[in-house]
Amino acid sequence: MDTMQLKDLFTVAHFIKARCDHGLKAGEPKHVKNYVFFEVEILDPKTRTQLCYLDKVDPSATIGEIKILLHKLYPKWYPARQALKLHPEGKALRDEDVLEDLPVGTTATMFLQDLGPQFGWTMNCLYYWGFAAWLAYYINHPLYTTPMYGKFQIYTSLITFLICECGNFSIHLALNQLRCNGSRPMQIPYPSKNPFTWLFFFVSCPNYTYELGSWISFTVMTQCVPVAVFTLIGFVQMTIWARGKHKTYIQEFRDYPELRGAIIPLFL
């Protein structure tokens, strides 16, 4: 074997060694993740009978997506009509809650509460849009006249309107911090350091009190009969809601403050 052949063999051997050291190493084993699906059993809260069984549900599925799956099996239960709970007397799960984040195993049991046909949003839209169009027609009409006391009446009513709106916002923030079990309150709302919450000393639903004050202010500011009609109808409806909530508070809490009314201090 001559010198040229030995040189060629040495070159080939060096090339193979380099490839083995760098490019032909055995790859690291890949970590294969075992993907576990969930099973969701949906029961009737009263009879505990099984209404639906959902197999191979993605762990990252939300409650809203589970409602859609249930709706495909039972078209009459559209998502807005469903309230899914982990306990028959528990709080309804939110649509954005994720299945794997709930305190359940891989087989989740939920209870379906049928909320019935949902027409509330349609009626609210018709109510507010209809009145808004009616009020706007009169307020923007060429024959509309300014209030009797001019700018003083307008600005005074505007300031009162803004104060009531701030109060309404403060009450909603306070109520949002209370614990509830579904629609049942678990805490009595009390006044805080925020002066706007001091109405809790006198009424159970100060948010409605503030809202009524806002619309009375708007009525005075515009001095318009249709606005007054809207305010009157709103007052009747809010009084019904307030008295219902006030009754619930009294039934749930034996030590509920006796001084409180429903919506108007010391009167109603």
pLDDT of 188 higher than 80: yes
Compute the chain's Rg from CA coordinates: 33
- Predicted pLDDT at 131: 85
Q: How confident is the model at residue 95 (pLDDT cuts 50, 70, 90)?
A: confident
Tell how strand 38-43 and strand 180-181 pair up. Answer: unpaired
Taking the C-alpha atoms of residue 77 and residue 267, their distance in angstroms, rounded to an integer, is 43
| SS3 state of residue 141 | coil
Range in 5-19, 111-125, 250-264 with the lowest mean pLDDT: 5-19
Paired tokens of 191: 């006044």
As a whole number, mean pLDDT of residues 190-218 equals 93
| pLDDT-above-70 percentage for the chain | 82
pLDDT of 2 higher than 80: no
Taking the C-alpha atoms of residue 135 and residue 137, their distance in angstroms, rounded to an integer, is 5
Question: For 152-181, what is each residue's pLDDT tens digit?
Answer: 999 999 999 999 999 999 999 998 887 665
Mean pLDDT in the chain? Answer: 83
Question: For 128-141, what is each residue's pLDDT tens digit?
Answer: 888 889 888 988 98
| SS3 state of residue 252 | helix
Answer with the residue of higher pLDDT: 133 or 126: 133
pLDDT of 27 higher than 60: no
Number of H helices and number of E strands within the chain?
6, 6
In the chain, list all ranges with CATH 3.10.20.90: 38-114
pTM > 0.75: no
- Predicted pLDDT at 264: 92
Q: What is the fold, at CATH topology level, of the domain defined by 38-114? A: Ubiquitin-like (UB roll) (3.10.20)
Q: How confident is the model at residue 10 (pLDDT cuts 50, 70, 90)?
A: low
Answer with the residue of higher pLDDT: 113 or 31: 113
| pLDDT-above-90 percentage for the chain | 33
Range in 17-21, 209-213, 218-222, 223-227 with the lowest mean pLDDT: 17-21
Q: How confident is the model at residue 25 (pLDDT cuts 50, 70, 90)?
A: very low
